[in-house]
Structure 1
Amino acid sequence: MTFSGVYVPLITPFDAAGAVALEALECLAHDALGSGATGLVALGTTAEPAALTAGERRAVVEVVARVCRERHAPLVVGADSAAEVAGLRGVAGALSLVPPFLRPGEDGVVAHFEALAAVAAVPLIVYHVPYRTGQQLSTGALRRITAIDGIAGIKYANGGIDAGTAELLADPPADFAVLGADDAVLSPLLAMGAHGGILASAHVATADFAGLVAAWHAGDAVRARALGGRLAALSLALFAEPNPTVIKGVLHALGRIPTAAVRLPLLPAGAATVAAALRHVPAPVAG
């Protein structure tokens, strides 16, 4: 399966008592797919998975998987260990982070993904986000990873667009998806040949993000540039404080989740930051 289009890495909404608001999560999943998202990600880093209990994580996957089955949409699940990727069934893929903190070196990272892919029950998407993991990877190392059987794509969050990005996309690996994840620079990444994105910002303006991907893939640069500029401003506002705090604040202000609560070590976004982000949210289309 080739991954393309917009995947929304769903937040985990909480109710006033602090429990996971599963009904709100189900609504978010339906809304994203109904507004043009290709698929969903459950238990990505945007979902605060480390702050959830094992039971909560199971419940989140069950809800999102049910929505994806009903809508015949692909589901990707965050899974980083051999036991997790081996245990996944009935989903389109696993999103697996480059090992954080240890900085094992490029050979260690490649060996890690060779081991994961050897036991995985589903295709893997590698999450490369060096400003969070502490592990930069050269284009050569990325190409070694793309050649591993069972790895289908990369969530590419290099912190921007640099020479390595250009080198990767100038000669993209065959049958391998490059999915942008630095939301504010999605448009230029698509212009260079990326297949889509895994985009927390697409919780809002989902249809516009889907339209941006479609416009670049269709070669409609005029429409794509107009959308890209507006969505870049939205994304910058939504990431003005640690993710997903501003997104939760915006979704709560829009009445889409019961609270803006996050779990420690995160703290809720400030009211001024949320208000600034709301000014970039497009008005709903009358219908």
Structure 2
Amino acid sequence: MNTAIFEGVWVPLVTPMTGANGAEIDRNAFARLVDYYLAAGVNGLVVAGTTGEGTLLSDDERRWLAEVACHLARGHAPVLAGVGASDTANAARQIRALDDLPLAGYLVPPPYYLRPSQEGILWHYRSLAAGTRRPLVLYNVPLRTGVTLGVETIRELASHESFAAIKECDAHPLTRLPSQVTIRVLCGDDMQILPALRAGAAGCISAAAHVRPDLYLKLIRYVREGDMDHASTLFNGMKPLIRRLFSEPNPVAIKAALASLGLCTPTVRRPLMPCSTALHKDIDAQLEVTMAF
């Protein structure tokens, strides 16, 4: 397994929506976004993840996003597909429906809502791994799932070649985890990217990297070169916009920013609601600052 691809800046693509209440995917806009981030030089793409409103997508929509991204990105960057469910059988079915595509693997959270034990989490991941030859990227996001992947659980899964990396979204273990586990750690909390990189994280899966992905690539380059002064200065300048992009449920504010940049509409699928007018104005003001970097 080539785990080296799980590093650098990965963008968890939004899913552009159109129609009443975001009923349809804006297919032309999605293809444009894929091309845009490939041209920016990001290291990888994620489709149908949290930022892509993955839990609100049908199986056919998830399949279409993965097909298009794989086709456009082939030879340029790897693509992960987000899959997940409370029910292990449902998550396995999602994987089977995509397993013929040239994906780099699957981004998979623990079963959400049920809050299973660590033993149950291990069973879930092992069951999914048994049904595919593609790698799984663990996704620790306790704010959304209600359960945390313990370090011993991560170590146990990391001992099997099916598990290639972990997207860690819990701010508390981010600066310790890279030294505690053998698989690659990708930062999933945008406000913790620099501390995580300093601690040895291999990169990030960053929703905020939709805006100025070049700054995230530069940040990682500074860290790799040991230029922490420039890294800190750059990251401190990025923080105000990052805070605003997560002031309302993800990806509401991300889509508002992309709309202001002319990359897609701000439409989200219900029950998500559009970005508030006040936040959108605040984002636009901060975008002027960030775009001048």
- What TM-score results when the alignment is normalised by the length of structure 1? 0.91
Aligned to 2:8: 5
Q: Does 1:283 align with 2:291?
A: yes
Matches within 5 A, 1:141-152: 141-152=153-164
Q: CA deviation at 1:95?
A: 0.5
Letter paired with 1:49? G
Query: What is the DSSP-based 3-state SS (H/G/I as helix, E as strand, rest coil) of the residue aligned with 1:111?
Result: helix
Q: 1:52 to 1:177 in 2, by over 3 A?
A: same
User: d(CA) in 1 for partners of 2:261 and 2:198?
Assistant: 32
Aligned to 2:53: 48
Aligned to 1:83: 93
Matches within 5 A, 1:3-152: 3-16=6-19, 18=22, 19-69=24-74, 71-80=75-84, 81-86=91-96, 87-88=98-99, 89-152=101-164
Q: CA deviation at 1:129?
A: 0.5
Letter paired with 1:103? R
Aligned to 1:235: 242
Q: Size of the alignment, in residue pairs?
A: 278
What are the superposed Cα offsets for residues 151-182 of structure 1, whole Å, 9 maximum, x if unpaired?
A: 00001001x1x3x4444223441xx2100011
User: d(CA) in 2 for partners of 1:149 and 1:217?
Assistant: 26
Contact 2:7 2:204 in 1 (8 A): yes
Q: 1:208 to 1:28 in 2, by over 3 A?
A: same
Aligned to 1:263: 269
Aligned to 1:254: 261
Query: What is the DSSP-based 3-state SS (H/G/I as helix, E as strand, rest coil) of the residue aligned with 1:207?
Result: helix
Q: Does 1:170 align with 2:179?
A: yes
User: d(CA) in 2 for partners of 1:280 and 1:185?
Assistant: 20
Q: CA deviation at 1:113?
A: 0.9
Name stretches of at least 5 consecutive residues in structure 1 with no aligned partner: none
Matches within 5 A, 1:185-200: 185-200=192-207
Q: 1:149 to 1:250 in 2, by over 3 A?
A: same
Contact 1:246 1:274 in 2 (8 A): yes
Letter paired with 2:131? V
What are the superposed Cα offsets for residues 42-100 of structure 1, whole Å, 9 maximum, x if unpaired?
A: 1111111232233322222222112111x521001112312222442311111011111
Q: CA deviation at 1:237?
A: 0.8
Query: What is the DSSP-based 3-state SS (H/G/I as helix, E as strand, rest coil) of the residue aligned with 1:61?
Result: helix
User: d(CA) in 1 for partners of 2:204 and 2:286?
Assistant: 20
Identity %: 35
Matches within 5 A, 1:203-242: 203-242=210-249
- What TM-score results when the alignment is normalised by the length of structure 2? 0.89
User: d(CA) in 2 for partners of 1:136 and 1:172?
Assistant: 15
Name stretches of at least 5 consecutive residues in structure 2 with no aligned partner: 85-90
Query: What is the DSSP-based 3-state SS (H/G/I as helix, E as strand, rest coil) of the residue aligned with 1:126?
Result: strand
Contact 2:257 2:280 in 1 (8 A): yes
Q: CA deviation at 1:5?
A: 0.5
Letter paired with 2:125? F
Letter paired with 1:278? D
